[in-house]
Protein backbone atom coordinates (compact mmCIF):
# COMPACT_ATOMS: atom_id res chain seq x y z
CA UNK A 1 0.00 0.00 0.00
CA UNK A 2 2.92 2.33 0.75
CA UNK A 3 0.63 4.94 2.31
CA UNK A 4 -1.45 5.35 -0.86
CA UNK A 5 -5.18 4.89 -0.29
CA UNK A 6 -7.20 3.48 -3.15
CA UNK A 7 -10.87 4.33 -3.77
CA UNK A 8 -11.82 0.63 -3.53
CA UNK A 9 -10.13 0.32 -0.14
CA UNK A 10 -11.93 3.43 1.07
CA UNK A 11 -15.31 2.04 -0.02
CA UNK A 12 -14.54 -1.30 1.64
CA UNK A 13 -13.59 0.33 4.92
CA UNK A 14 -16.72 2.49 4.79
CA UNK A 15 -18.90 -0.57 4.10
CA UNK A 16 -17.35 -2.54 6.96
CA UNK A 17 -17.80 0.40 9.32
CA UNK A 18 -21.43 0.77 8.25
CA UNK A 19 -22.15 -2.96 8.46
CA UNK A 20 -20.72 -3.26 11.96
CA UNK A 21 -22.84 -0.48 13.43
CA UNK A 22 -25.23 -1.66 16.11
CA UNK A 23 -28.66 -2.31 14.65
CA UNK A 24 -27.49 -2.56 11.06
CA UNK A 25 -28.58 -5.69 9.23
CA UNK A 26 -26.34 -7.30 6.68
CA UNK A 27 -28.41 -9.23 4.18
CA UNK A 28 -26.58 -12.29 2.89
CA UNK A 29 -28.93 -14.35 0.75
CA UNK A 30 -27.87 -17.98 0.81
CA UNK A 31 -30.92 -20.06 0.08
CA UNK A 32 -31.57 -23.62 1.16
CA UNK A 33 -31.21 -24.78 -2.44
CA UNK A 34 -27.48 -24.07 -2.40
CA UNK A 35 -27.10 -26.21 0.73
CA UNK A 36 -29.03 -29.07 -0.81
CA UNK A 37 -27.06 -28.92 -4.05
CA UNK A 38 -23.80 -28.72 -2.12
CA UNK A 39 -24.80 -31.75 -0.07
CA UNK A 40 -25.70 -33.68 -3.21
CA UNK A 41 -22.39 -32.83 -4.86
CA UNK A 42 -20.55 -33.81 -1.69
CA UNK A 43 -22.42 -37.12 -1.49
CA UNK A 44 -21.71 -37.83 -5.17
CA UNK A 45 -18.01 -37.03 -4.90
CA UNK A 46 -17.50 -38.86 -1.61
CA UNK A 47 -19.10 -42.04 -2.95
CA UNK A 48 -17.17 -41.78 -6.21
CA UNK A 49 -13.76 -41.11 -4.67
CA UNK A 50 -14.04 -43.51 -1.72
CA UNK A 51 -15.52 -46.21 -3.96
CA UNK A 52 -12.78 -45.78 -6.55
CA UNK A 53 -10.06 -46.03 -3.90
CA UNK A 54 -11.67 -49.13 -2.39
CA UNK A 55 -12.05 -50.85 -5.74
CA UNK A 56 -8.46 -50.05 -6.67
CA UNK A 57 -6.94 -51.10 -3.33
CA UNK A 58 -9.16 -53.93 -2.08
CA UNK A 59 -11.61 -55.25 -4.70
CA UNK A 60 -11.99 -58.59 -2.89
CA UNK A 61 -12.97 -56.84 0.32
CA UNK A 62 -15.46 -54.67 -1.57
CA UNK A 63 -17.08 -57.71 -3.20
CA UNK A 64 -17.27 -59.60 0.11
CA UNK A 65 -18.80 -56.65 1.96
CA UNK A 66 -21.20 -55.94 -0.90
CA UNK A 67 -22.40 -59.53 -0.57
CA UNK A 68 -22.99 -58.99 3.15
CA UNK A 69 -25.05 -55.86 2.45
CA UNK A 70 -27.08 -57.68 -0.23
CA UNK A 71 -27.58 -60.92 1.75
CA UNK A 72 -28.19 -59.42 5.21
CA UNK A 73 -29.46 -55.86 4.74
CA UNK A 74 -31.65 -55.71 7.88
CA UNK A 75 -28.97 -57.12 10.16
CA UNK A 76 -26.35 -54.80 8.65
CA UNK A 77 -28.66 -51.79 9.06
CA UNK A 78 -29.48 -52.65 12.69
CA UNK A 79 -25.83 -53.23 13.55
CA UNK A 80 -24.82 -50.01 11.81
CA UNK A 81 -27.50 -47.96 13.53
CA UNK A 82 -26.64 -49.43 16.94
CA UNK A 83 -22.92 -48.75 16.44
CA UNK A 84 -23.59 -45.21 15.20
CA UNK A 85 -25.68 -44.42 18.29
CA UNK A 86 -22.96 -45.96 20.48
CA UNK A 87 -20.22 -43.89 18.82
CA UNK A 88 -22.23 -40.68 19.23
CA UNK A 89 -22.94 -41.42 22.90
CA UNK A 90 -19.30 -42.28 23.61
CA UNK A 91 -18.14 -39.12 21.82
CA UNK A 92 -20.58 -36.96 23.80
CA UNK A 93 -19.47 -38.56 27.07
CA UNK A 94 -15.82 -38.05 26.14
CA UNK A 95 -16.42 -34.36 25.43
CA UNK A 96 -17.55 -33.88 29.05
CA UNK A 97 -14.09 -34.81 30.29
CA UNK A 98 -11.06 -32.69 29.67
CA UNK A 99 -8.87 -35.53 28.39
CA UNK A 100 -11.78 -37.09 26.50
CA UNK A 101 -11.99 -34.19 24.07
CA UNK A 102 -8.65 -35.30 22.68
CA UNK A 103 -10.15 -38.77 22.09
CA UNK A 104 -13.56 -37.64 20.83
CA UNK A 105 -12.17 -35.83 17.79
CA UNK A 106 -10.20 -38.81 16.39
CA UNK A 107 -13.15 -41.09 17.21
CA UNK A 108 -15.42 -38.85 15.16
CA UNK A 109 -12.98 -38.76 12.26
CA UNK A 110 -12.56 -42.54 12.25
CA UNK A 111 -16.33 -43.00 12.43
CA UNK A 112 -16.76 -40.63 9.48
CA UNK A 113 -14.22 -42.51 7.37
CA UNK A 114 -15.77 -45.88 8.23
CA UNK A 115 -19.21 -44.44 7.40
CA UNK A 116 -17.92 -43.20 4.03
CA UNK A 117 -16.42 -46.63 3.27
CA UNK A 118 -19.60 -48.43 4.31
CA UNK A 119 -21.90 -46.09 2.41
CA UNK A 120 -19.79 -46.37 -0.74
CA UNK A 121 -19.88 -50.17 -0.51
CA UNK A 122 -23.65 -50.21 0.11
CA UNK A 123 -24.31 -47.93 -2.86
CA UNK A 124 -21.96 -50.06 -4.97
CA UNK A 125 -24.03 -53.11 -4.01
CA UNK A 126 -27.17 -51.38 -5.28
CA UNK A 127 -25.44 -50.19 -8.45
CA UNK A 128 -24.05 -53.67 -9.07
CA UNK A 129 -27.59 -55.06 -8.96
CA UNK A 130 -28.76 -52.39 -11.39
CA UNK A 131 -25.98 -52.32 -14.01
CA UNK A 132 -23.61 -55.20 -13.22
CA UNK A 133 -19.82 -55.20 -13.50
CA UNK A 134 -19.20 -57.00 -16.77
CA UNK A 135 -17.36 -53.96 -18.16
CA UNK A 136 -15.45 -53.22 -14.96
CA UNK A 137 -16.11 -50.97 -12.02
CA UNK A 138 -16.53 -47.63 -13.80
CA UNK A 139 -20.24 -47.92 -14.53
CA UNK A 140 -21.22 -49.16 -11.03
CA UNK A 141 -19.09 -46.45 -9.43
CA UNK A 142 -20.80 -43.72 -11.43
CA UNK A 143 -24.26 -45.20 -10.83
CA UNK A 144 -23.59 -45.59 -7.07
CA UNK A 145 -22.38 -42.00 -6.82
CA UNK A 146 -25.32 -40.79 -8.90
CA UNK A 147 -27.83 -42.59 -6.68
CA UNK A 148 -26.31 -41.14 -3.52
CA UNK A 149 -26.16 -37.65 -5.01
CA UNK A 150 -29.73 -37.85 -6.30
CA UNK A 151 -31.04 -39.07 -2.95
CA UNK A 152 -29.30 -36.19 -1.20
CA UNK A 153 -31.25 -33.74 -3.39
CA UNK A 154 -34.56 -34.68 -1.77
CA UNK A 155 -35.68 -34.61 1.85
CA UNK A 156 -37.03 -38.14 1.95
CA UNK A 157 -34.08 -39.34 -0.12
CA UNK A 158 -31.76 -38.17 2.64
CA UNK A 159 -33.46 -40.57 5.02
CA UNK A 160 -33.15 -43.40 2.50
CA UNK A 161 -29.52 -42.50 1.91
CA UNK A 162 -28.93 -42.58 5.67
CA UNK A 163 -30.47 -46.05 5.86
CA UNK A 164 -28.28 -47.32 3.03
CA UNK A 165 -25.22 -45.77 4.66
CA UNK A 166 -26.12 -47.37 8.00
CA UNK A 167 -26.38 -50.79 6.33
CA UNK A 168 -22.95 -50.33 4.77
CA UNK A 169 -21.52 -49.00 8.04
CA UNK A 170 -22.88 -52.05 9.83
CA UNK A 171 -21.52 -54.47 7.23
CA UNK A 172 -18.05 -52.93 7.47
CA UNK A 173 -18.06 -52.98 11.28
CA UNK A 174 -19.41 -56.54 11.41
CA UNK A 175 -16.54 -57.59 9.18
CA UNK A 176 -13.89 -55.68 11.16
CA UNK A 177 -15.17 -56.41 14.66
CA UNK A 178 -16.02 -60.03 14.04
Q: What is the pLDDT of residues 121-137, one digit of tens each?
A: 999 999 999 999 888 99
Q: In which domain, by residue range, is 51 found?
A: 33-177
Q: What is the pLDDT of residues 136-171, one digit of tens each?
A: 999 999 999 999 999 988 867 889 999 999 999 999
Give residue 115's pLDDT. 96
Domain contains 113: yes
Least confident stretch, 29-43, 85-99, 133-147: 29-43
Domain contains 19: no
Query: Into how many domains does the chain fold?
Result: 1
Domain contains 76: yes
Domain contains 10: no
- Residue 78: closest CA among 160, 171, 161, 156: 171
Domain contains 27: no
Domain contains 173: yes
Domain contains 172: yes
Of the chain, the percentage scoring pLDDT greater than 90 comes to 63
Amino acid sequence: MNGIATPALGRTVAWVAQATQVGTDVNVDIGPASGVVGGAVGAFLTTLVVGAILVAVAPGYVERTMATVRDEPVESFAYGLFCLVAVVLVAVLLVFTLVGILLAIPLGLVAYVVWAVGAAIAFLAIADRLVGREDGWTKPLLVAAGINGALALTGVGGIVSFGIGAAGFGAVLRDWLG
